[in-house]
Chains A and B, each alone.
Chain A
Amino acid sequence: MATTAGTLPAVGAHSGLWSWLTTVDHKRIGALYGVSAMAFFIMGGIEAILIRTQLAVPNGTVLEADRFNQLFTMHALTMIFLGVMPLGAAFFNWFVPLQIGARDVAFPRLNALSYWVFIGGGLLFVSSFIFGGAPNAGWFAYAPLTSERMSPGSGMDFYVVGLLMLGLSSLIAALNFAVTIINMRAPGMTMMRLPVFIWMTLVVAFLLILSLPVLTVALIQLLFDRSFTTHFFSPEEGGNPILWQHLFWVFGHPEVYILILPSFGIISEVLPVFSRKPLFGYAAVVFAGVSIAVLGFAVWSHHMFTTGLGTVPQIVFSASTMAIAVPTGVKIFNWLGTLYGGNIRFTTAMYFAVSVIVLFTIGGVTGVMHATVPVDTQQQDTYFIVAHLHYVLFGGSIMGIFSGVYYWFPKMTGRFLHEGLGKLHFWLFFIGMNLTFFPMHFLGVGGMPRRIYTYDADLGFDTWNMVATIGAYIIAVGMLAFLWNFVRTMRQAPSAPNDPWGGATLEWATSSPPPEHDFDVVPEVHDRDPLWYNRDHGVTTPAAPAHLHIHMPPPSYYPLVLGGALLLMGIGVLSHLAVTALGVVIAIYAVWAWTLEPTD
């Protein structure tokens, strides 16, 4: 594991397990996020395979009802919080400093802390399977099903504590990236010269900063209902189950933009590079991303159209939801405009990027269908929604993330993932996901509800469910192809040049992989697509001086200690409060020592 990211050592001892545990280098932290997230993504995929195996035939007997309910709950939670979000974080970590010409993020130790809290929270979450059962009330955990009375046992307590920890991890990271992007740009890198990937990262950071606190309050109130006899969400004593839904979705809707915007940012980098022309309509793409984020806070009740909101709220949220289709559509057209007139090189990364345009559009138009409230009363809680969400999250987020993986792999490791295997991976994913999720539109239209562990044989659901299961297995084979590609690639020696693709942005102006200090000399920034500008205008980067006086922040074990303390606090809530008290004491010590630690 210590060698997978292949970061070249600079000054001092930087190998071995301890160096990974104490690292504050954004590239290593990115590698930690990436590998962990891929492992969780595979776990989420196995959960999906189990679900699909159960649903392949009517009245299936592979899984019992409660186990199925745990699996679909954990599949969603794993994919969202332990898969897609940390995969995004992996790329933020790796490429935000490089693309803005900084040498690290604003707060390197805080950066490490967000990783340790993430991995602690993630492991706590999945440990629920062996400690009395995983949460089983859906990832959205509607009250009052989640009350102590209706869901006795520790599953929902793991849900609360796990999500609080993961939320804290994401919040810390978001604060760090927001400050970094605003405050640490290289000279000449104005906001309107930022790569679109950086813009999307900044927007995602603000979405997290403003939406996570609302989820935190919802979780705290659920915790209090379950453990301290309050009645925020239980109706018998005056509580309001719909309040949970409002709080959850005020977070939950911005969350889906948090899940898609990094992928939009990635393909906004990949499409221009392999089309060999700039992104079409940069300002519109940036402005559309910001609009999506702002509007994203005004649509949350479209998840609640069937809860009895009333005619006026239904119309208002229907309108705002339709409105958000406009900036999204603009981005699609701008990406198509980027392909137009290009000289396109179809690498694996480009395959994945172009597929996002098509697959996300399918998810986007079915989203507009859901926005038309009366149609939603038929589609809500059916497989039609399952189809929609997987087209945007798999077809959009996952395919975009893999585009980034293939594009940036040489930069991160110095090696190229094999193109043939990569294309095989692509086709298996593309065919597999369409086979899995397109039939779900038919199942939804045919009346198959979602979150059901079985269905009857005489409803016409049999064939499409079997097709969907076969598609899921094809996706799994695709993932095996990717893993095989990864393993055999990492066995090769690094050989990639600084800029194998003819890239436009600053990460391609340093070695592959970069040295610990990222740049010997940060190139000048005169325009967006700085490397293309410099190439076209003959601007050369000055040679590095003979002695580099670059001081990088030293490693520190306090993020690990504080992360461990926070994990103890969480474990204590689930077991004995004495453990929480111990965690608090260690946390106070860790914060104190961290503040006094010299960083020179």
Chain B
Amino acid sequence: MAAAGAHGVAHHSTTGIDNRKLLMWIFLASECLFFGSLISTYLIFKGKSLVGPYPDEILDIPVTSISTFVLLMSSLAMVLAVYGAEHGRPRMMKLWLLVTILLGLTFLGFQVYEFRTFGHEGLNLATNQFGASFFVLTGFHGTHVGVGVLILASLLLASFRRSGLGREAGFHVEIAGLYWHFVDIVWIVIFTLVYLIPQ
């Protein structure tokens, strides 16, 4: 019998997958369409800017490669945090949650640096089609990273309560991990299409 509403214990569900995990997966499907539309817009306007600065003049691939590496490493840290949570090792979980957060913040720092540098070099939302589509795409991605940082920070904070994250610690951290990895994968796609593929 499907129990409704009560949280705290893993419920029976028709598929065997917890409702909340299924929710996250389906939500990520909608996010695929969201980022897909933003990326499509970017690709449609590729090469169509009427004035510069143009991507090949302004994108700093070496620096962005570093920030990409940072984000990738944060996914590794996330995996370790999930492992710690699922195996009843709260100190390991807290440590790696913290590392994930710090690496995520570092990535965001790189984004802020990049946006400001571009601004100084004359590229902003209004300048040309590259500016518009680039800032909207990477800006919304950065916002998603920021939301992820908030979620992880909340988990970390909550883990310092006497009850910690409770009996479902592994589950909560795993779901946060799904989101975090998704945001990372989106960045890989953006990095490839925007930075690595020549104009």
Contacts and interface: CB of A to CB of B under 8 A. Distances in A.
A and B touch in the complex (CB under 8 A): yes
Interface of A: 24, 97, 101-108, 171, 175-176, 178-179, 182-187, 189, 209-214, 216-218, 220-221, 224, 228-232, 237-240, 243, 247, 250, 522, 551-553, 588, 592, 595-596, 599-600
Contacts of B49: 238
Given A210-B33, A551-B3, 4 more contacts: A97-B4, A183-B14, A184-B4, A217-B37
Contact of B41 (A183, A211, A243, A588): A243
B41 A232 contact: yes
Interface string B3-41: 111111000011101010011001101110110111001
Nearest to A208: B30
Interface stretch (B81-89, B93-101, B126-134): B126-134
B41 A107 contact: no
A210 B36 CA distance: 11
Given A102-B4, A175-B27, A553-B4, A229 B14 contact: no
Contact of B23 (A97, A107, A218, A600): A107
Contacts of B125: 224, 228-230
Name B's interface SS.
helix
B132 A213 contact: no
A106 B29 CA distance: 18
A232 B133 contact: yes
A228 B131 CA distance: 12
A67 B49 CA distance: 38
A105 B126 CA distance: 45
Given A104-B4, A171-B30, A552-B5, A221 B136 contact: yes
Most chain B beta-carbon contacts within 10 A, residue among A178, A182, A230, A237: A230
A183 B1 contact: no
Given A185-B2, A213-B34, A214-B37, A231 B126 contact: yes
B48 interface: yes
Contact of B26 (A102, A179, A185, A214): A179
Given A179-B26, A182-B22, A232-B133, A213 B37 contact: yes
A229 B131 CA distance: 11
Contacts of B158: 596
Nearest to B17: A183
Contacts, number: 135
B199 interface: no
B106 to A, nearest CB: 23
A218 B136 CA distance: 12
A104 B29 CA distance: 24
Contact of A178 (B8, B26, B31, B126): B26
Contact of B14 (A108, A184, A551): A184
B42 to A, nearest CB: 11
B41 A217 contact: yes
B34 A182 contact: no
13 contacts: A97-B4, A102-B4, A103-B4, A106-B23, A178-B26, A179-B23, A184-B4, A185-B14, A186-B1, A186-B2, A213-B33, A214-B34, A220-B140
Contacts of A104: 4-5
Nearest to A189: B14
Contacts of A211: 33
Contacts of A178: 26
A220 to B, nearest CB: 7
B157 to A, nearest CB: 10
Contact of A108 (B1, B4, B8, B129): B4
Nearest to B16: A183
Contacts of A107: 19, 23
Contacts of A228: 125-126
Nearest to B161: A596
Nearest to A250: B37
A217 B38 contact: yes
A213 B13 contact: no
A265 to B, nearest CB: 20
Contacts of B3: 103, 551
A216 B38 CA distance: 10
Contact of B132 (A105, A216, A224): A224
A214 B35 CA distance: 9
A213 B38 CA distance: 10
Contacts of A239: 129
